[in-house]
Amino acid sequence: MNVRLILVLMVWPFAAIAQGFAGLGQGAEGFATPRPGVALEFPADHGAHPSYRIEWWYLTANLKGEDGRSYGVQWTLFRSALAPETREGWADPQIWMGHAGLTTPERHFVAERLARGGIGQAGVTAVPFGAWIDGWRMQGRAAEGRDELSALSLTAQGTDFAYDLDLTAEGPLVAHGQSGYSTKSESGQASYYYSQPFYRVAGTLDLPEGPIAVTGRAWLDREWSSQPLDAEQKGWDWVSLHFESGEKLMGFQLRSTDGAYTSGTWIGADGRAEPFEDGVLTMTPLGRARVAGRDLPVRWRLELPAKGLDVEIDALNAQSWMETRFAYWEGPVRITGSHRGEGYLEMTGYE
């Protein structure tokens, strides 16, 4: 999912400017680069890969409340390394960033955390699985002998919201690209990328008006790499969609000055992955909304002829703006058309 790769690569300089420092995460040499033909290894690859520059644990959930309303939740832990190593204490060059979002039809809540590695404030362990920053946790609670990510508890708190969710996977891990080696552009940038898109969710959202019990589904993305993007690439539009048929779709387009580069993976109800190349997926913006002072396409037409897919996706809340150090749009969408369902949309680079 190269969109997030771009996100993080761009986030750090932006975050750095917001903080008053330029050049964070840039210029450090000696990072490992993804190579094809290297098999993913679990549970070790659930943990951190400090020799790669960037990495994330990215979870989005489409939820339905006991009140019948729809909600969306995002929980993300980013890792960005100043140097390809770990050290004890403050000298550790690993830096962590957490983003949490909670979307209701009317409101969108955001929280952000930054932490240094090496002191225990943030980090990830593979066995038993645990990813945390401050009080936010994605904690593995898998049964003996099951994959570490097969069951999770998830919690995050902002100044005006919190959530506490239990997740149980009802399908296998899905590797994108060539067995997890996901090519990112024509010039060869790549990342390691796999997902667990089959979570069933139950839990509680804490909103200013009170707690709400929710159920729904969630999608976890794991990706790490070291390579930056091309200079011409202006932004991206990315979706992760759950269809009522049980099938799923991860797709994105990278917008550059000379057109868009699209890619993605069709996931069967049994978890079988069918990655597709550039040009197979067509994404067409339909309706725009004024969000945070800019025009964003919050309604899209998606066409994937090979799968008979021709759907419209529409934001649950057009104002799902992540007002973080590097701001972007991320929120739940409804799907209508040839397939029905729900999912998540992410958009960056609209000025």
Beta bridge partners of 259: 256
Tell me if 91 contacts other proteins by CB under 8 A. yes
User: Considering the rule CB under 8 A, would residue 115 count as an interface residue with other proteins?
Assistant: yes
Amino acid at 118: G
Asked if 334 touches other proteins (CB under 8 A), the answer is: no
Query: Cα separations (Å) of 27 from 22, 92, 207?
Result: 11, 17, 42
Whole-angstrom distance, CA of residue 255 vs CA of residue 349: 9
Structure tokens at 93: 């060059």
Looking at 102, 111, 267, 296, which residue binds other proteins (CB under 8 A)? 111
Residue 139 touches other proteins, criterion: CB under 8 A: no
Q: Nearest CA to 49 among 134, 112, 123, 121?
A: 123
Q: Which of 90, 231, 257, 259 binds other proteins (CB under 8 A)?
A: 90
- Angstrom distances, CA of residue 60 to CA of 99, 217, 235, 336: 11, 9, 20, 20
Does 321 contact other proteins by CB under 8 A?
no
**DSSP structural state of residue 17:** H
User: Which is nearest to 5 in space by CA: 351, 299, 348?
Assistant: 348
Distance, in Å, from the CA atom of 76 to the CA atom of 158, rounded to the nearest integer, reads 13
Q: Please give the torsion angle defined by the CA atoms of residues 303, 309, 254 and 185, in that order, rounded to the nearest 10 degrees.
A: -120
Q: In the structure encoding, which two tokens stand for residue 112, read together?
A: 């952000």
Residue with smaller CB distance to other proteins, 19 or 336: 19
For residues 200 and 55, give the distance between their C-alpha atoms in angstroms, rounded to a whole number: 24
Q: With respect to other proteins, which residue has the nearer C-beta, 155 or 189?
A: 155
Q: Which of 121, 168, 282, 319 binds other proteins (CB under 8 A)?
A: 121
- Residue 19 within binding range of other proteins, rule CB under 8 A: yes
Among 65, 125, 134, 141, binds other proteins (CB under 8 A): 134
Which of 6, 77, 95, 124 forms a contact with other proteins (CB under 8 A)?
95
Considering only CA atoms, which of 31, 24, 29, 77 is closest in space to residue 51? 31
Our finding on whether 25 is near other proteins (CB under 8 A) is: yes
Q: How far is the CB of 66 from other proteins (least distance, A)?
A: 20
Task: Report the residue number, 157 or 179, with the smaller CB distance to other proteins.
Answer: 157
Among 32, 40, 83, 280, binds other proteins (CB under 8 A): 83
The span from the CA of 338 to the CA of 143, in Å, is 38
Residue of 129, 161, 198, 329 interacting with other proteins (CB under 8 A):
161
Query: Is 16 among the residues that bind other proteins (CB under 8 A)?
Result: yes
Only segment of 116-124, 170-178, 217-225, 305-313 that touches other proteins (CB under 8 A):
116-124
C-alpha distance from residue 198 to each of 3, 151, 173, 243, 331 (Å)? 21, 11, 8, 12, 19
* Residue 75 binding other proteins, by CB under 8 A: no
Site string for other proteins, 194-233 (x = CB under 8 A): ------------x---------------------------
Decide: is 159 part of the binding site for other proteins (CB under 8 A): yes
In the complex with other proteins, which residue's Cβ is closer, 124 or 241?
A: 124
Is residue 157 close enough to count as binding other proteins by CB under 8 A? Answer: yes
Do residues 72 and 102 make contact, with C-beta atoms less than 8 angstroms apart?
Answer: yes
CB of 338 to other proteins, least distance (A): 42
120 vs 305, beta carbon nearer other proteins: 120
Which positions touch other proteins (CB under 8 A)?
A: 16, 19-28, 82-83, 89-91, 93, 95, 111, 114-116, 119-121, 132, 134-135, 157-162, 206
